[in-house]
Structure 1
Amino acid sequence: MKKIVSIATLFCVFAACSQEKSTEKPKEESTSKPILLADPTVFYNNGLYYLYGTTSGDVPIGEGFQVYTSSDLKEWKGPVGAQNGLALKKGDTFGDKGFWAPQVISYKNKFYMIYTANENIAVATSDSPLGPFKSESKEPIIKTGNQIDPFVFIDEDGKKYLYHVRLTNGNRIFVAEINDDLQSIKAETLTECISGTLPWENTQNVSWPVTEGPTVLKHNGLYYMIYSANDFRNPDYAVGYATAKSPLGPWEKATDSPIISRKDVGINGVGHGDVFYDKAGKMKYILHTHFNNGAVSPRKAGLIDIDFEGAKIKANAKSFILLEE
C-alpha cells in the first residue's frame, strides 16, 4: 500500500511541476542577426569600436563600405555610416566596383581609409570614422598592375609601409615603403614577402595559390605578419603568420600555422581579418567566416582572442564568437 501511495504522490508532484512550467512565459525569440561583412577590420577611437569590411549582405560591393559601432564588442549598431550607412560611397573617391578590404587609421589629425576598388589600392580621408571618406585625386596609389588587400604599417622610426597582394602568378603578398602623404609608394623598395608554397596554404593544389589579407605588427623587436591562405571559397581558408627582423623581410613562416582554421572554430572559411587591441589592452583578431558549412556567402564577421606566447602567436578557439547587430 505504501508503495502505491508513493507512486501516486510522485505522479501528483510531477503533474504539479508540469502545470507550474506551463504557466511560464515563453522565451522571446532573439531579434539579433549576424553582421554580414567580409575582410573585416576594427578601428578603436574615443571609446568606440568601428567595424568596417567588404559588404556581404544586401548592399552590393560596388557601392562602398558600411560601418558598425560598439562600445563593448558585444552589442553592435549599424550600419551607421554618414551616407545611408556607408562610410565611403562610390563616386566620392577612386573606383566604381569591387570595394574590398578597407583599413582605417588616424594620421595627421585626419582619418584615412586605405582600400581596394577595381583591383587597385586607393586612399580617402574624413574628419570622422563614420565618414564620409572622400578624395580629390581619385587615382590609385600604384598605377601599374593589379593589387588588393592593403595594410599600412607605421614603424617606430616613422617609416611607413604598404603591405598588399599583387595578382601575379597567384595572390602574392608584397610590401613597399609608402610616402608620407600615403598617396604613392617608393617603387624601388617593392619586395615580395610571401606566396602560397606550403601544403596548408594550398589544400586544393591549384595552379594559382592564394596568400592574402596581411596584417603586420611589431613585438619585442620582431615583425609579425598575420595572413590568410587558400581561396576564400575553400572550406580550408585559414590564418597563419610569419616573422621577420625587418619590415621588408625576409619572412620566415611559422611552423605552427595555421593558428585559426575550421578545425579550431567549427565553421568553414575562417580568415582575412585584422588585429586590434580592446580597451583593456587585450589582443583580438577580427575575421570572416562562410555563412554556414553549406554556403560560402554572405560571409559573417567573427571575433577571436589571440596573444603572444614567447615568440609565437596563439589563438584561443574557445573565445570565438560571431558578431550580431
Structure 2
Amino acid sequence: MSRRFYLFLIVIVSFLQGCQPQPSALKIENPLPVEFGDPYILKASDGNYYMIGTGGVKDGFKMYSSSDLKSWKDEGRIYQGNTSDSWNIANFWAPELYEKDGKFYLLFSADWRENPTNELENFRIGVAVADNPTGPYTDLMDRPIFDPGYPVIDGNLWFEDGKTYLYYSRCCYKNPVESEVADWAREKGMFNEIEESWVYGVQIENDFSGIIGEPKLLLRPPVKMDDQQAEWESRSVTSGEVNRRWTEGSYIIKNDDTYFMMYSANYFGGKNYAVGYATSPSPLGPFKKADNNPVLQKNVEQGGVVTGTGHNSITLAPDGKTMLCVYHGRTSETGDERVVFIDPMEITADGKLVVHGPSTKYDKSSN
C-alpha cells in the first residue's frame, strides 16, 4: 500500500467518524442536588431551562430554573393544589410543562376529589396554565381532562399537524391480568394475582377540554415468559418485591418518520425501575418494543452506585442538537430519596435509541 493511498484512507475514516453522532461536550455532574421524582425539563423560547417534578412541596409543584443545566435556581412553589375549589386533593405526581401560543401549560396527575366509591387510587390528569414559565399556575378547568373510569397517571402530550395527543398510564390498581408471569408467580406461591399498568394514547381537543374518539392501548407488559422483554419488565414480580408490573412514564418523540416512545417498567420505589422504548410509524401505534431494551437501568452489577433509574423526559443541550435524557434514580451516596440525572442520548444511524448512562460523579461506569 502506497503512503499516498494510506493517507487518503486516514482522511476518509476521519471524515466518516466526524459524521457520526458524538456525545455532548456538556459535562453535568450527576446526580443534580435536586430531590425530584419524575423530572421534566422544558427548554423555553427564552433560552432558559425550567425543571419540575414530583416532590419538593406538599399539595402541588415547585420549580428550578437554569441557563446552562448546571447551576439551578430554586423558583419555589409554582402550583397550589388541594384548595377549597380545586378538582384535586392529594398525590400530586409527574408534572410536565409545555409552551404553546404564548402560554405555559402544566400537565399533572392527582387524586380526584370526586370519589363516590372511596377508591384507594383515584388519579386523573389535569392541566393548569400561566402567562410565565415560573407561574403561578391556575387550573384551566374545575375538573380533569376526562374520566376513563379507572385511575390514570403520567400524562404526556404530543403536538403535530394541528392535533394534540395525550398519552397516559392506566394504574395497576384493580387491574389483575392473566399471563404466564402470573401463572409462574402462583406456582411459586409468591402472589395470587398480578396487577398491571398499561400505556394508552388518544387525541384530545386542542384546548385540553376533552378527548376525541376512544383511547387506544399502546403498550403493556409481555404475556409470554419467552418474550425478550419479559425478563427485565417483570423483575419486580420475579424478585418477590411486589405483585405488580408497570408500563408507565411514557415520553414520545419523532425522528424522521418514526415515533419513539420511551417508557418505564417495574416498581418506581425499587432498585429494578428501568427504561425501554418502542417505535411506531404513527402517533397512535401500533408500537413495537425495541430489541436493545432496557436502555437505562441500575449499574450496581457493573460496579456502579445507581439504582431505580426511570420516568424520564428529554430536552436539548444548549447546542440545540444534542438530546439529553432527564430521569430520576437513587445512589448509595445520596440514599433513598430520588434525585435527578441528566445524561446524553442519541438515535443511531441504524435507528436504535441509546442512553449514555447512568453516570455519576461518584462512579464513572455507565451502561
Could you say whether these structures have the same fold, taking a TM-score greater than 0.5 normalized by the shorter chain as the test? Answer: yes
In structure 2, the partner of 1:36 is 35
Distance 1:139 1:269 in 2: 33
Q: In 2, distance between residues paired with 1:257 and 1:33?
A: 25
Structure 2: how far apart are the matches of 1:33 and 1:174? 31
Report whether the alignment pairs 1:54 with 2:54: yes
| 2:144 alignment partner in structure 1 | 140
- The answer to which of 111-120 and 260-269 deviates more is 260-269
Question: What are the within-5 Å matches in structure 2 for residues 277-288 of structure 1?
Answer: 277-281=316-320, 282-288=322-328
Provide the aligned length of Structure 1 versus Structure 2.
Answer: 279
Deviation at 1:93, TM superposition (A): 4.6
Q: Which amino acid aligns with 2:53?
A: G
Identify the residue that residue 220 of structure 2 maps to in structure 1: 195
* Contact 1:172–1:196 (CA under 8 A) maintained in structure 2: yes
Larger Rg, first or second structure (1 or 2): 1
Compute the displacement of 1:274 (Å): 0.3
Shift in Å, 1:67:
0.1
CA distance in 1, matches of 2:62, 2:128: 15
Shift of 1:202: 1.3
2:98 partner amino acid: I
Distance change (3 Å), C-alpha of 1:160 and 1:321:
farther
Q: Which amino acid aligns with 2:105?
A: Y
1:103 is aligned to 2:142: no
Instruction: Give the superposition deviation at 1:309.
Output: 0.2
**Equivalent position to 2:330, from 274, 287, 290:** 290
TM (norm. structure 1) is 0.81
Distance, in Å, in 2 between the alignment partners of 1:174 and 1:321 is 37
Deviation string 1:266-303 (CA, Å, 9 cap, x unpaired) is: 3010010201112212100110012537953x211111
DSSP-derived class of the 1:199 partner = helix
Change (3 A) 1:139 1:204: same
Distance in 2 separating the partners of 1:184 and 1:113: 16
The residue number in structure 1 matching 2:282 is 246
The amino acid that maps onto 1:195 is R
2:106 is the counterpart of 1:113: yes
Backbone CA RMSD of aligned residues: 2.1
| Residue matched to 1:177 | 203
Question: What secondary structure does 2:208 align onto?
Answer: coil
Task: State yes or no: 1:269 paired with 2:305.
Answer: no
1:192-213 residue CA offsets vs partner (Å, 9 max, x unmatched)? 1111222211113254210110
TM-score of the aligned structures, taking structure 2 as reference length = 0.72
TM-fit CA distance, 1:159: 1.6
How many angstroms does 1:316 deviate by? 1.3
- Work out whether residues 93 and 124 of structure 1, in 8 Å CA contact, stay in contact via their aligned partners in 2: no
Cα distance between partner residues in 1 of 2:69 and 2:360: 12
Could you tell me which runs of 5 or more consecutive residues in structure 1 were left unpaired when the two chains were aligned: 1-31
Q: Distance in 1 between matches of 2:43 and 2:345?
A: 17
Structure 1 counterpart of 2:246? 210
- The aligned residue for residue 167 of structure 2 is 163
Task: Name the CA distance, whole Å, in 2 between partners of 1:320 and 1:141.
Answer: 38
